[in-house]
Structure formats: C-alpha cells, structure tokens
Structure 1
Amino acid sequence: MSNKRELDRPAITQILEEAGVDPSGEVTELTEGTYNTVYRIGSDLILKVSPDPDAPVLSHEHDLIHTEALFYQAARGKAPVPEVIHSGDDYLLMTALPGTTMQGVPDDERAVLQRELGGIVSTLHEVTGSAFGYPQKGLVATWSGAFLSMVDDVLADASRFAVELPRPAEQLRQLVLSRLDLLDEVQTPRLIHFDLWDGNILVEDGRITGLIDGERAFWGDPVAEFASLTLFRSAPDADLLAGYGELELGETLVLYRVYLYLIMLVEGTPRGYEGPDREAMVNLILRHLNKDLDRL
C-alpha cells in the first residue's frame, strides 16, 4: 500500500502547458521514491506530485512541495540543487540534474566524494533565515522552541497512529526539556536539508552533481544535518568532517538522530508499509534508536 498519487497524461500536459513547457516530450515515472510521485519529463525536467490531500501523513508533512521549492530557491548558488521552473499547490516542476545516486559508489571511491560533500554542506549552511523550524509549520524565535515542537509532533503522531515507542513519550520529551539551554546556544537559523542519505545525493564522473528531495528542510542547527549523514552509524565520516571544516558535534547530534529515528519508526504506518522488509527496517531503526537513547 502507498499514499503515492499518479497523474494521467492529460493532467501532466495541463501542468506543463501552464508552465510554458512543450508537453509533447516523453513522460516516465521514476519509482524509487516512497512519498511523492515523480516523473521525468523528456531529458531535462522532473515533475514531483504530492500525495493525495486526504492521505494520512505526519504532522509536519503538510505542504512539503512548497518547502522543497523554498529549499531549492534558497540553496541555489550554494549547493548543486534543481532549479524551480513552476510550482502549484500539489506539484513541483524542476530541472533534472545529471548523475546517479551515491548508493552505488564503491567504498574505495567514497573518500573524495565525502570530502566534497562536506564542503558543499558547509557552504549550504551559510544560508541563514529569520527564525527557526519547518517553514510549513510556522517559524519561531528560538531553536529550542522549534525543536521541542518538532519532537512533540512526532510523539503525537505515534499516539495517533498507534505506533509503539521504545520508551514512554513523556520520557522522550524530557530528553529535549533537559537540554533547552544547550539548544538555545544555537542563535542563527541555518538552512538544513535533513535528508542527506546516499539516495538523495547524485554523483557523476567522481563528482557530486546534486542534492535532491529537499522537502524535509528546516531552519535550524547545522549539527542536525549530520543526523541523516550518520544514519545507522555512531559518528560522522572523517573525510566528511574534514571537508566541512570546524564544527563541534556533541550530544545534540545524538538527540537529533533520535528525532530522525522516531520519524522513520512512525511514518511507515500512515504510508502503509508492511511485510518482511518493513519488519526488518523497524528492527534496524529500533536497534539504533535504543543505542542512541542509551547515550543520552
């Protein structure tokens, strides 16, 4: 089962015509994604369509199309991201970037790419905003306030979708409450992608050519970026950190990773994931989530 929504050819044609794009090109659905529906239009464009508005989603997953467009527009010139061509309430038309995902890169070729990625992410974090949090949820003045709200939302989602958590929700919330002063040391809202796993990083000819799927972006602590960059690992790659430059990583990284694991644990229920693959993923998430909880 999936919340993904498909468009027929007339609907795609209408979007392309509204964008001033020739609608006669070949349309191919790209099936790798798990949330939105994505089409390649000819060789140069990508059309992303959000799930049905009546589909069950997490609290922060409303209006993600506009957040993704905002991320690309803010990041242009700082990181290799698509150019927004046209957008609507439930779709985004953008340029296609060259390359394939970093998932297939052999270990002996990763060091140079990790160092380059670190530099790109560091430059991305030069983009600053006026306040903290998810754009689609409304921004607030402090990072502690924004992050506590983010955690509250995913804990409420766990209750709403009857997802069993490894610890009581109030105990998980207390992990944030006890670190509000530490979170408030973050004074500058920076642009955070927050979904930089290998599948969202494009490479070609030994270089990074794109950061894609920016819909999970928010304004926050640059350390939070390393939650996805250290997914299912305890520490960042040394070459990645060398490329990024000076950044103090402490227990807040573990806290942000706990938040990410909670999202991954809960989101499978409204998306209808099931079967042996889902069970294996849940077990993997819980194993690493519990390790990080023990660190806090």
Structure 2
Amino acid sequence: MTGVSPTQRQITSDDVAYLVRVSFGSHTRVRDAGPLVGGGYATVWWALLDDDRRVVLKLAPPVGTPLLRYERGLCAAEARYFRLVAEHAPQVPVPLVWDHGTDPAYGEWLVTALLPGRSLHELAVAGVAVDDGPARYDLGVALAALHRVTGDRFGYDGGRAGGSTWRIAFTAMLDALLADATEWNVRLPVTPERLHALVGRHADVLDEVRRPALLHFDCWDGNVLAAPDSDGRLRLCGLVDGERFLYGDPLLDLVSPVLLRRIEDDPGHPLLRGYQATAAEPLVLDVSARRRLGLYRLHLYLLMTVEMPSRSMTPQSHPERHARLAALLDSELAALADD
C-alpha cells in the first residue's frame, strides 16, 4: 500500500505476516490480509490468522517522521486507552489489545482484535440507506460511560500538553498547536495574542470543569462502527482509534461526533438523548456549556488546519477543506468575541 500521508508507510502482506509472527509466535500464519483506508496517521492493515482470528495491525510512523506535538507516542497511547476502557468501562465496545511492540526495522506497532461492523462514515459514503439514529444514541450511552472514569490530571498523558486544572491544560493544548503552526508555516486566521485573549476572557467557564473525565476526543463518524441488530436497527458495535484520548471536560467529546456542526443547535439529536439518559451528571447546555463548546470547536478546527501540511495537504491541493475550516474558525472566533 502506498501511504497518502508522510506519516504512513509502504508495506506488504509479507511485512504483516512478519509482525504477526513477532506478536503471536512463529507458529502463527496469516491466511489473508489487506490495507484499511480512511485514516491519515498510521498505516493500518487487517489480517485473518490461521486460527480464524481477525486482527488489525497498526504501524506507527517511522522514527524521525515530523509529527505534531500531541501526536508523539500515539501507538502506545492507543494501547493504554483500550486497556483503560476494558478495565474501567467494559460496556463500551473497544478492540481487545493483543500486542504492542517495537522492532528495530519496523518501529512501533499495535495489534488488536478486528471489531465487526462498518463505520458510519463508510456507510454514508456507500450510500447505504439506513437510520443511524440508534447507533448514535448508543454512542451517547458509551460516551457517558467513558466519562465516569476519572484521571489524575487534565490533558494528555505521556509528557504531552496537560496541567493541574482544565484551564491550564486546555491553554497548553492550544499553545502546542500554535507552536506546530509556526514550525509547519501554517497561516492561521488568529494571532496567538487574540487566541490567548479569548481563552482568558472565558477562563471562568473552563474553571468550572473540576474533574478530569476520560475522553475519546476523536469520535467522528469514521471511528464509530455499527451493524444491524436482529431487528435490522443499526447499533453501535465499536469505537476505534482511541490514540488521541485525554482527560478533561466531557463536553469536548460532543464536538467531533457532529463534525463541522453545533450539537447545541440540535437538542433532539440521538447522541444527546443517549447521553442524557445515562450520564452520571445532568447534561445542561446552558450559557457556560455553549461557550465551552465554542472553545472546543475552535481547538478542533485549529488542529484540523495545522495538521494539513503534515499530511501533505495544502490550500492549493485541498482548497475546499482549507476554505471551509477558515470559515468555521472565523465563525467561532466571532461568536466567542461577541459573547
């Protein structure tokens, strides 16, 4: 497979067979294998083993590949996340971790079980006519379960951006993105000074977050797997790509599931109904919550803009993505400035 991003590498079925033997022992063979597409960071393949197990092999970028600051150590982070969820929120369907290892020639990799179902993004692209409301309701229930798990600090783990309070951690996350933008020569529609002023203006709502809840952060439709149940209803059967997890405000997890839209503008959304039905604490989308959601969308759109050159995307090669993100950033900046 030829990677579409500099962080992805070209491997073959022989490479997959070798890493499977390293993970499971020399007696294990691969009956079939192929690439999984859709992501832009790691190289991902599925494999059918000779004992009928279906696994996913995720190969981290080669050592020395330029990465965004928060992306360092993501393969190990994903292993930690899936194990955390399996231990503390076992009702949430995440892949079983079979192995996490390193190799002098291949670098770092992760092997997990292959979950059933197709992503909501794949179903939409394929034009499958199905009501995805039940699956999105289930996602809300799953997020409510994840958010009951509490960390010992805010932000990312592994020495990345974080802090003792959510305000400190969130500011550090934004500062890391600003530093990445400088290094990658990404022009942003906001200066660091204006961004800091906006965060300072709304710091009081960030300080209302007192508990570092476990967050997935990246629950866009491509990472949400679903399959029909016995009644033909599409239900959640997996959450994948948990490497970007962090600890913070549960509201942060309500941004990526409705990517490029505003969840507070759709109070009857099935995700909200599932979350509200099972959350440990009531979900109130009041003025404070709306301000925080605006800040979190601002962070996500900044991230999606800053990551473009690291994925070989430029305003010229992807003009629609660049223009749409710029417009969304302007909208959130204006709303926060007026609030």
Judge same fold: TM > 0.5, yes or no.
yes
Q: Which range moved further: 122-131 or 101-110? A: 101-110
Where do residues 18-37 of structure 1 align in structure 2 (5 Å cutoff)?
A: 18-20=22-24, 22-37=28-43
Match of 2:82 in 1: 72
Deviation at 1:169, TM superposition (A): 1.9
Deviation at 1:160, TM superposition (A): 1.2
Please give the per-residue CA displacement for 1:170-224, whole angstroms capped at 9, x wherever unaligned. 1112222223332122111111111111111001001110111111110111011
Secondary structure at 1:26 match in 2 = strand
Match of 2:10 in 1: 6
Secondary structure at 1:25 match in 2 = strand
Match of 1:182 in 2: 205
Match of 1:116 in 2: 138
Of residues 173, 178, 183 in structure 2, which corresponds to 1:155?
178
Please give the per-residue CA displacement for 1:12-54, whole angstroms capped at 9, x wherever unaligned. 3342223225133322111222111001011610000111222
Asked if 1:144 corresponds to 2:167, the answer is yes
| Alignment CA distance shift 1:74-1:284 (3 Å) | same
Secondary structure at 2:274 match in 1 = helix
Partners of 2:120 and 2:37 in 1: CA distance = 17
Assess if the C-alpha contact under 8 Å between 2:36 and 2:44 holds in 1.
yes
Match of 2:147 in 1: 125
Percent of counterpart pairs with the same letter? 34
Q: Which amino acid is 2:216 matched to?
A: H
Please give the per-residue CA displacement for 1:76-105, whole angstroms capped at 9, x wherever unaligned. 204111011100242110000000011225
Assess if the C-alpha contact under 8 Å between 1:81 and 1:210 holds in 2.
yes
Assess if the C-alpha contact under 8 Å between 1:154 and 1:266 holds in 2.
yes
Match of 1:51 in 2: 61
Of residues 237, 243, 253 in structure 2, which corresponds to 1:215?
243
Where do residues 270-281 of structure 1 align in structure 2 (5 Å cutoff)?
A: 270-274=310-314, 278-281=318-321
Assess if the C-alpha contact under 8 Å between 1:57 and 1:271 holds in 2.
no
Asked if 1:164 corresponds to 2:167, the answer is no
Q: Which amino acid is 2:210 matched to?
A: Q
Match of 2:328 in 1: 288
- Structure 1 gap segments, 5+ residues each: none
Q: Which amino acid is 2:249 matched to?
A: D
| Alignment CA distance shift 1:259-1:275 (3 Å) | closer
Deviation at 1:5, TM superposition (A): 1.5
Q: Which amino acid is 2:17 matched to?
A: T
Q: Which amino acid is 1:34 matched to?
A: G
RMSD over aligned CA atoms reads 1.9
Asked if 1:16 corresponds to 2:20, the answer is yes
Q: Which range moved further: 185-194 or 109-118? A: 109-118
Q: Which amino acid is 1:210 matched to?
A: G
Deviation at 1:289, TM superposition (A): 1.5
Assess if the C-alpha contact under 8 Å between 2:82 and 2:95 holds in 1.
yes
Partners of 1:136 and 1:26 in 2: CA distance = 35
Where do residues 174-253 of structure 1 align in structure 2 (5 Å cutoff)?
A: 174-205=197-228, 206-236=234-264, 237=266, 238=268, 239-245=270-276, 246-248=282-284, 249-253=289-293
Secondary structure at 2:321 match in 1 = helix
Of residues 90, 101, 105 in structure 2, which corresponds to 1:88?
101
Q: Which range moved further: 251-260 or 15-24? A: 15-24
Q: Which amino acid is 1:37 matched to?
A: T
Q: How many residue pairs end up in the alignment?
A: 296
Secondary structure at 2:58 match in 1 = strand
Deviation at 1:8, TM superposition (A): 4.2
Q: Which amino acid is 2:197 matched to?
A: Q
| Alignment CA distance shift 1:178-1:71 (3 Å) | same
Q: Which amino acid is 1:212 matched to?
A: V
Q: Which range moved further: 176-185 or 102-111? A: 102-111
Structure 2 length-normalised TM:
0.82
Match of 1:97 in 2: 115
